[in-house]
Amino acid sequence: MVKSKDVCLSGAGLTKVYGFGRTRTLAVDHVDFSFYEGEVVSIVGESGSGKTTLAKMLLGLTNVTEGEIYFQGEKRDISTQRKRREYWKNTQAIFQDPFSSYNIFNKIDTVLLDCINMRGGRGFSRERKFEMMTEACSFVNLKFEELTNKYPFELSGGQMQRLMIARVFLLKPKILLADEPTSMIDACSRATILDMLMQLRSEIGMTIIFITHDIGLAYYVSDSVYIMEHGKFVESGSADQVILHPKAAYTQRLINDVPKIYEEWDLSTV
C-alpha cells in the first residue's frame, strides 16, 4: 500500500441511474473510494455489477447522477471542452474492445502524432516525432516502419491492444483505466501486456485502475482491491487484506470460484 502518497482520484457518494420508471437501473449506488498516486487498484465484480459504468463516470464519458469526483484533491470540472481535454490528458483508458477506441478513419501515424501533440510536442521536428513514435512502438514490441500508413483496423486484436499501450507511453497520463485490457488476447500476450503496464507505471508513476472479473489477476497485480456487487463496494482494502482475509460473503464466493490462487494444489484426489 502506498498510503503515504497523495490521493489522485476519489469519489464520494458516486451514483449512476440509467433510464426512468420501469426501465430504471441503479448501475452504481453511492460508492466512495480513494485511489492513491502510483498505486494499482483493481475493481472486481461479476458481469453487470457496474464496473464499466463507474469507469465511464471517472472518464467523463457519461453523466454522474449523484455524488462527486475529486481529481488531485479538487472537485473535477469538465464543464467546458478545454477543461475536458485537460482532464483527458491526465486520465486515459484502455477498453475491452480496442476497435471502439480508435477513430477508424485515422491512420496509425495520426493516432500517435495526436498523442505527441497533446503532450505539447506540436512544434517538435519531424525527426524528433519520428523518434518518439518509434520508441513508443518498440516499447510494446511493434515496429513503427510496419505500421506507418496503416489503419488501426488493419492490425490484429493483440497488435491493436499494444498500440493502445504505445499511446499511453506517449501520453504519460496520471491515471490509466484499464477495463479488461487483456480479454482479447492469449495468456502469453496477456502476461506481456501486464508487464508492459507495470513497467510503465514504475517509469511514469501513474495510477492504474484495473477493471476485471478475475480476482486472481487482481491479487497478482494490485496494491488495493475494491469488490463491487450490484453497484456497491462491498469490501475494499489492500490486496492481501481483501483476498487472503475476505470479510464479505460475496468476496468469499468470488474467491471460491478460483480456489487455486491462494491454496496449494491438492493432487491427492486426482
Ligand X SMILES: Nc1ncnc2c1ncn2[C@@H]1O[C@H](COP(=O)(O)OP(=O)(O)OP(=O)(O)O)[C@@H](O)[C@H]1O
Return residues touching ligand X (CB under 6 A).
Answer: 18-19, 25, 27, 45, 47-53, 213
Q: Indicate the residue type of 124.
A: F
- The grid coordinates listed for 266 are 491438492
Distance CA 15, CA 54 (A): 8
Q: What is the DSSP string of 225-255?
A: EEEEETTEEEEEEEHIIIIIS--SHHHHHHH
Using the minimum distance from each CB to ligand X, give the nearer residue, 20 or 265. 20
Binding site for Mg ion (CB under 5 A): 52
**Do 42 and 178 touch, CB atoms closer than 8 A?**
no
Using the minimum distance from each CB to ligand X, give the nearer residue, 53 or 161. 53
The residue number whose beta carbon is nearest to Mg ion equals 52
Report, in Å, the least distance between residue 21 CB and Mg ion. Answer: 25
Instruction: Report the partner that residue 18 touches, choosing among ligand X, Mg ion, none (CB closer than 5 to 8 A by kind).
Output: ligand X
Distance CA 270, CA 26 (A): 45
Report, in Å, the least distance between residue 240 CB and ligand X. Answer: 24
The single-letter DSSP state of residue 150 is -
Distance CA 49, CA 230 (A): 5
Q: Which of 226, 189, 202 is nearest to 28 (CA)?
A: 226
Report, in Å, the least distance between residue 180 CB and ligand X. Answer: 7
Distance CA 2, CA 27 (A): 29
Report, in Å, the least distance between residue 214 CB and Mg ion. Answer: 13
Using the minimum distance from each CB to ligand X, give the nearer residue, 107 or 230. 230
Using the minimum distance from each CB to ligand X, give the nearer residue, 29 or 223. 29
**Do 42 and 222 touch, CB atoms closer than 8 A?**
yes
Instruction: Report the partner that residue 181 touches, choosing among ligand X, Mg ion, none (CB closer than 5 to 8 A by kind).
Output: none
Using the minimum distance from each CB to Mg ion, give the nearer residue, 116 or 229. 229
Q: Indicate the residue type of 69.
A: I
Using the minimum distance from each CB to ligand X, give the nearer residue, 44 or 155. 44
Instruction: Report the partner that residue 27 touches, choosing among Mg ion, ligand X, none (CB closer than 5 to 8 A by kind).
Output: ligand X
Report, in Å, the least distance between residue 80 CB and ligand X. Answer: 24
Instruction: Report the partner that residue 216 touches, choosing among Mg ion, ligand X, none (CB closer than 5 to 8 A by kind).
Output: none
Report, in Å, the least distance between residue 150 CB and ligand X. Answer: 29
Distance CA 194, CA 132 (A): 22
Instruction: Report the partner that residue 48 touches, choosing among ligand X, Mg ion, none (CB closer than 5 to 8 A by kind).
Output: ligand X
